[in-house]
Amino acid sequence: MALEIIGITVLWSFLFGYIIVASIDYGAGFFNAYSIITGKNHILSKIIQRYLSPVWEVTNVFFVFFFVGIVGFFPKTAYYFGSVFLIPGSIALILLAIRGSYYAFETYGNRGHKGYAIMYGLSGLLIPASLSVALSISEGGFVYIEDGNPILDYWALFTSPLSWSIVVLSIVAVLYISAVFLTWYANKTGDLKATNLMRRYALIWAFPLIITASGIIYELRFHNPEHYERLLDLWWMFGLSFLLWLVTVFFVWKRKKYGTAVWLLFGQFMLAFYGFGISQYPYLLYPILTVHEGFTNQAMATSLVVVFILGFALLIPSLYLLFKLFLVDKSYVQGRKVEKRRSEVNVK
């Protein structure tokens, strides 16, 4: 049982890392597209491109780790979720391919092309929306067993208020996380106009975030009362998350301590995310599959735990170096490294 808890904790941690890093990336792409549509690209585009350039390639590393880990630790998930999540998962993969392609066209082809930027930004919002369907499915009520095979009830899924609440929250969370982070990043570059614009976006999406999150808890009361009761038992985690949200919004509103606001943002989502995961334990697919029933053998589990911990040990320092050498490097954030690189390319 100890290995099962370690396994699901490691996977949940990789998923949390993906949510944070991908949200910043996806939101940045959307804000870039939105600035082009509204004619404010002269304010935001340089800041966002400066962030996306070194980061976008590593965004899906967390997701790959999670995907490999969930199948390795819990092989039965491949059977259950592989069947019912085939269409939403395929849509997400197609969107990921489209997003990567359009980023390449935008960056290395016709820079500033509106069509590429808009497709890149929109796909960044549709990816979390399509992936969030898996969370809805895990709550139960959408999958039934027929002749031993899991079948997804699409009508129940697409008419469920809980399902749409989770989809809306995934989009709003992407925009809020990205806006707060880019507010700090723009401030780091010394660009006052970009800082003020991203600050306004952060404040705009702050309250819809809390409303949609509360809506999910409300819908769980009717859709999955057992999970709802366990959520109430962890009220203190969600209460602390709400307090961190208040302080984050206060700092952004007062135009101070943007760096602290970002760390509080991470803490807010970590408390809510882990609280939700703990309350859902031990179910992977309610009420059909639990972590105990779907767990792999002990030898495989031990090997996976070691490999994933080593993966964490390599990935975290790599991300630290990425941020240190690029995102928080003074000469990079102020554009000097970018301009030097472009002049070197032009000379060649």
Position 347 pLDDT exceeds 60:
no
Strands (E) located in 23-176: 143-146, 149-152
* Confidence tier at 106 by pLDDT (50, 70, 90): low
Residue numbers of the domain that contains 28: 2-347
Position 60 pLDDT exceeds 80:
no
Task: Give the mean model confidence (pLDDT) for residues 199-222.
Answer: 92
Q: What is the pLDDT of residue 118?
A: 80
Position 240 pLDDT exceeds 50:
yes
- Of the chain, the percentage scoring pLDDT greater than 90 comes to 24
* Confidence tier at 173 by pLDDT (50, 70, 90): very high
pLDDT for 145-162, tens place per residue? 877 778 888 888 888 999
- Residues 35-44: contacts with CB within 8 Å, 24+ apart? 36/112, 36/114, 36/117, 36/118, 37/114, 37/118, 40/197, 41/112, 43/191, 43/193, 43/194, 43/197, 44/194, 44/197, 44/198
**Which of 76-90, 110-124, 161-175, 237-251 bottoms out in mean pLDDT, i.e. has the lowest?**
110-124
Q: What is the pLDDT of residue 348?
A: 43
Position 56 pLDDT exceeds 50:
yes
Task: Give the mean model confidence (pLDDT) for residues 117-142.
Answer: 85
Tell me the whole-structure pTM to 2 decimals: 0.86
pLDDT for 255-298, tens place per residue? 988 989 999 999 999 999 999 989 988 888 888 888 887 677 77
Number of domains in the chain: 1
Cβ-contact 300, 17 below 8 angstroms: no
Of 110 and 310, the structure prediction assigns the larger pLDDT to: 310
Task: Give the mean model confidence (pLDDT) for residues 192-214.
Answer: 91
How far is residue 114's CA from residue 112's CA, in Å, rounded to a whole number?
6
pLDDT for 307-330, tens place per residue? 888 877 777 777 777 766 666 655
Domain holding 241: CATH number?
1.20.1630.10
Reference 92, options 26, 156, 29; nearest CA is 26
